[in-house]
Amino acid sequence: MSFREIRQRDDLTSMSKAKAMAEKIQAERLKAARKTSGDSWNRQSQ
């Protein structure tokens, strides 16, 4: 395995890690947005 191949592989793993992190953050934001919109909806319906 050449040095370049090793670097490419490392780039791929860090890229997939970053992608997983971004997806996690997006999911958290979505959950928070749902919660806040749900809270305001509950207030309106009362």
What's residue 45's pLDDT?
65
Whole-Å CA distances, 22 to 2, 7, 38? 30, 22, 24
Structure tokens at 11: 């780039």
pLDDT in tens, 2-45: 989 989 999 999 999 999 999 999 999 999 998 888 777 667 76
Cβ density class 2-34: b for 16+ within 10 Å, e for less: eeeeeeeeeeeeeeeeeeeeeeeeeeeeeeeee
Cα–Cα distance, 20 to 25 (Å, whole number): 9
